[in-house]
Amino acid sequence: MLAALDTPLADAPCDPLALPVEGWIYLGADQSSIVSVEALLNGVSIGSTTHLTVRADVNATHALPPTAATAFRFFGYAAQPKFGGAGRFAVLVHLRDGGPPITLVEHSIHVIYRDHRQNPFGVLLTPELIALHNREHIYGSGPSLAVGSGEMLTLAQRYLGPPPLRVVDVGCGLGWYGTRLRAAGYDWHGAEMKPTDCAALAAAGLPHTQVDGSGLPFTDGAFDAALCIEVLEHIAEPRAFLAEIRRVAPGRLIVSVPNAELIAYLHDYLAVPWHMLEADHKNFFTRWSLGALLREFYPHVEVGFHTVHPLKTPEGTPAYYNLFAVARS
C-alpha cells in the first residue's frame, strides 16, 4: 500500500465543524476494491467520500498508472465535538469485501477551543438548517467575470473524470472554464442567457447556445456531465432549473456557490462578504441546504468547500469563500 494524508497533519489546529481531509491511497491491483474513505474524530465518524480522483502529481512521483484514481478530498463535521485540547483523528479505508477497514493514518490533532456555532449567525453552521434561504430571508450586481478560479478548474477536472466527456456549462458567462476544458480534451458546450456574453463566446470561437431561462434546448441525456459555477444563487426557481439540468445531464453535476457559512465566521471582524449579499443573489446556501436541494435530483451528493478566505478565524483555522458539490446518479 502507498498512501499519504496531506491534511490534517499531526497536532495541527482544526475546527471540528469544517475539518478538511485530503490525501491519497494506492492498493495496486486491489484499488478497485475501495468503497469509501472515512474520517473519525475520537472514534466517531465525521465524514466520508466515495469519490477517488486522479492526481497527476501523485501518479508521476510514485510511477503509478496515469489514470490511477487515488486522491480523496472531503470535509468532516463533528456534530457533538469536544472543543479544546487534543483529539484523536483517524482515516479508514473501507473495502468491497466488507472486511475490517484499513487504517490509513491515526494521530493527534489540536481541536480549537471555540465553538463557532455560538457566534451570531452560528445557526448557519448546523445541519438542521436545510431550508433554502432567499432574498426575503437575508437581504449591491456586476458583469460576468473574465477570469475564473484555478482551484475550481482543478476540482472540476478531477470530479468530471478524464476526457473526452460531453460537458454542458450552464451559465457559462464568458467561457473561461470552457477554453481550458476544451484545451484539456473535453467536449464542452456553453449555455448562457446574456446576449453580451454570447457575443463574446462567439468571438472566442466557443460552442454555445443562448438560452432564455425557460429551459435547456437540448435532448434528454445530451451530455455526460454538467457544470453550474456561481450560478445557482441567482436562480429564482432553483428546483425547475435543476430538473432541466438533470434531464440533459443525468450522470453528474458539479456545482459551486457562495458559502453562507462564512457569515458566521467573519462576524468578529465586522467583515461582510459583499459578493454573497449582492441584490441579484436569490438563494443562500450552507453545506446542508445545498446538499438537501441537490439530493432531490441526484441520489449521491457530496458537499465541501473551495477557495480559502484571506481572513482566518481567531484560532488560525481556515474559512472558505465557496461551497463545492458533486452530484451523481
Q: Could you tell me if 106 and 229 lie in one domain?
A: no
Q: Could you tell me if 160 and 279 lie in one domain?
A: yes
pTM: 0.77
Q: Could you tell me if 255 and 308 lie in one domain?
A: yes
Distance CA(284)–CA(292), nearest Å, equals 13
Number of domains in the chain: 2
Q: Could you tell me if 98 and 225 lie in one domain?
A: no
Q: Among residues 113, 137, 164, which one ends one of the domains?
A: 113
Q: Could you tell me if 164 and 34 lie in one domain?
A: no
Q: Could you tell me if 139 and 271 lie in one domain?
A: yes
Name residues whose C-beta falls within 8 Å of residue 108's C-beta, 6 or more positions apart in sequence: 10, 11, 86, 87, 88, 89
Beta strands in 27-121 (DSSP E): 34-41, 44-49, 53-54, 69-76, 85-95, 102-111
Q: Could you tell me if 219 and 268 lie in one domain?
A: yes
Q: Could you tell me if 83 and 153 lie in one domain?
A: no
Q: Could you tell me if 28 and 84 lie in one domain?
A: yes
Burial of 29 (0-12, 13-18, 19+ CB in 10 A): exposed
Ranking 163-167, 188-192, 270-274 by mean pLDDT, the lowest is 270-274
Domain range for 241 is 122-328
Which contiguous run of DSSP H or E holds residue 156?
helix 150-160
Q: Among residues 78, 113, 148, which one ends one of the domains?
A: 113
Q: Could you tell me if 199 and 294 lie in one domain?
A: yes
The predicted-structure confidence for 92-129, as pLDDT tens digits, reads as follows 999 998 889 999 999 999 999 999 998 877 878 888 87
Which contiguous run of DSSP H or E holds residue 167?
strand 166-170
CATH number of the domain residue 161 falls in: 3.40.50.150
The predicted-structure confidence for 254-303, as pLDDT tens digits, reads as follows 999 999 998 888 777 666 666 666 666 788 899 999 999 999 999 999 99
Q: Could you tell me if 98 and 160 lie in one domain?
A: no
130 versus 56: which is more confidently predicted?
Answer: 56
Q: Could you tell me if 11 and 37 lie in one domain?
A: yes
CATH number of the domain residue 106 falls in: 2.60.40.10
